[in-house]
Each structure stands twice: as C-alpha cells, then as structure tokens.
Amino acid sequence: MNLTVNGTTHDVESGPLATLLDVLREELGVTSPKAGCEQGGCGACTVLVDGEPQRSCLTPVGALDGASVTTVEGLGAPESLSPLQQAFTHHYAAQCGFCTSGMMIAAEAYLKRGGTDDREAIQEALAGHVCRCTGYVKIIDAVAAVARGDSFDLTVTAPSPGMTNLGGVS
C-alpha cells in the first residue's frame, strides 16, 4: 500500500495491522507524532489524515491505502514557520513540547474548518488533548491569535491574554 506523508509518497512495508503511529515513527522516520499513551487517550499521536485529525496510535495503516497524512513537520519549517507555529512560539504554548505536535494538528484542523477566536470553542475543539505542563491557557491564546489573524514578533513572547495580570510584573 502507499501513503503520502507531508507531500511525499511512500511504499509502506509494514503489515496492515501496524498502527499509523508506528509506521510514521519507526518505518518512515517521522517522529513528531508521539507515543503518549497508545490508548487514544492523550492526543499526542494525532495527525491529519486527508485533512481530518486522527489518533494515529489507534489507526491500522491498512485502512489508509492512498491516504494523505500531514504531521507538524508538514506545517512549516524553522525558516518558514506557519502562522500556527509562529503563534505557539510567540505565545509560549509549548513547555516540554511533548504534547505540542498533536495539539497543533488538532488546532490546525479547527482553524481550517473556520474556527474562531472564541476561547470556549477552542477548548472544545482541543478537548481530549492532554497537556501536563502549560495549564492550557497559552495554548488557547495561540490558537485564538491565529484565528484573529494576528502577526507575530518571534523575538519576544507575549503576556497571556487568557490570564489576567492583576499587578506586579507585567
């Protein structure tokens, strides 16, 4: 079977029951989707399959013949970061970074289907993606900023619109 990943088509050697996650990470060397739980519970393995976010840890690759997969590597590169990648950088939406790939894929899908900067709508779209480091506030800030069409100064990070600074250091 063949699979297109971030624009490159591959002949998949793994058997049909191999998970898309294992095919991406072990066979094709695309390591941004992470094995966070392999139970479908954390979202760290999420990739776009024909534009839709899917848990690659639960997807048997045999079901995907001819499909087109997008991972974070396909969103943009350091020299040409996508708006979402810029937003995650500027809004400090990644701390340890382990959940970030899956989180960004879900956010990308939300934005592509016309998602707005409404914080509740963003929370609902990303629910099911677990982050242990950030407390979620700045992730929502970043996605909302892209929805608004903000441009981003990457030499600095922003105070958090989703958190009220009541005083002291600003």
Partner 1 sequence: MKAVGARLPRYDGIGHVTGRTTYVDDVRVSGMLWAKALRSPLHSATITSFDTSKAEAMPGVHAVITHADVPLLEYGHLSALGIPADEPLLAKDEVRYKGQPIAVVAAEDEETAMAAVEAIDIELEERTPLFDIRRAFDADAPKVHQWGNWYTHFEGEMDRRQIRKGSVEDAFDKADTIVQGVYRPAAIEHVPLETQVALVVPEASGRLTIYSCTQALYFSMGVVAAHLQVPLNKLKVVGGTVGGGFGGKVDTASETMCALLAQKSGRPVKWRWTREEEFLCSSTRAPWHMEIADAVTKDGWILGRKMLTLHDSGAYGRFSPYGLTKHSFHHTGAYTIPNLEFDGYVVFTNRVPTTAMRGFGVTSVSFATETHMSRIADVLGLDPYEVRLKNANRIGDTSPNRIVYTDPSTVSVVKALAGGMDVELQPEYAAMSRDPREGDLLPEHLVGQMANPEDH
Partner 2 sequence: MAVHKGRGIAAIEYPTGMNQNGDPSQAWIKVKPDGRIDVFAGTSDIGNGSKTIQSQIVAETIGVPYDWITYDNSNTDSSPVCTGTFASRATFVAGKAVEKAAERVKERILDIAGKELEIDPSDLEIVDGEVLAKGAPQKKIAVPDVAAAATWTYGELITGTGAQLKDFASIVDPETGEVDSPPHSAISYAACAAEVEVDDETGVVRVTRLVQVYDVGRAINPTLVEGQIEGGAVQGLGLGVLENCYPYYPSAEHRGGQFGSYLAPGFEDLPQIDTIIIENPSADGPYGAKGIGEMANNAQPPAIASAVYDAVGVWVTELPITPERVLRALEAKAEPTRNGKTFVFDAELSVNAVAQGGIAFEVPA
Strand partners, 60: 19
Q: Is 114 in the site for partner 2 (CB under 8 A)?
A: no
Smallest separation (angstroms) from partner 2 to the CB of 93: 9
**At 51, which amino acid appears?**
G
Return the number of the residue (36 or 53) whose C-beta is nearest partner 1. 36
Is 7 within 8 Å of 14 (Cβ atoms)?
Answer: no
Distances, alpha carbon 77 to alpha carbons 5, 28, 67, 143, in Å: 15, 18, 23, 18
Q: Is 157 in the site for partner 1 (CB under 8 A)?
A: yes
Q: Cα angle vertex 10, ends 5, 16, to 5°?
A: 95
Q: Distance between alpha carbon 27 and the CA centroid of its chain, in Å?
A: 21
Q: In angstroms, rounded to a whole number, what is the distance separating the alpha carbons of residues 20 and 75?
A: 19
Q: Is 3 in the site for partner 1 (CB under 8 A)?
A: no
- Contact with partner 1 (CB under 8 A): which of 20, 36, 53, 126? 36
- Contact with partner 1 (CB under 8 A): which of 21, 44, 64, 122? 44
Q: Is 16 in the site for partner 2 (CB under 8 A)?
A: no
Neighbours of 67 (CB within 10 A): 18
- Contact with partner 2 (CB under 8 A): which of 15, 124, 148, 153? 124
- Rounded to 10 deg, the angle between the 119-126 and 137-148 helix axes is 120
- By residue count, the chain amounts to 170
- Residue 17 C-beta-side C-alpha neighbours within 13 Å: 0
Smallest separation (angstroms) from partner 1 to the CB of 144: 16
Binding residues for partner 1 restricted to 92-111, rule: CB under 8 A: 92, 94, 96-101, 104
Q: Which residues are near partner 2 by CB under 8 A?
A: 37, 39, 41-42, 92, 95-98, 123-124, 126-130, 132-138, 140, 157-160, 162-170
Q: Which residues bind partner 1 (CB under 8 A)?
A: 25, 29, 31-32, 34-39, 41-42, 44, 71-73, 75-78, 81, 85, 88-90, 92, 94, 96-101, 104, 130-133, 154-159, 166-169
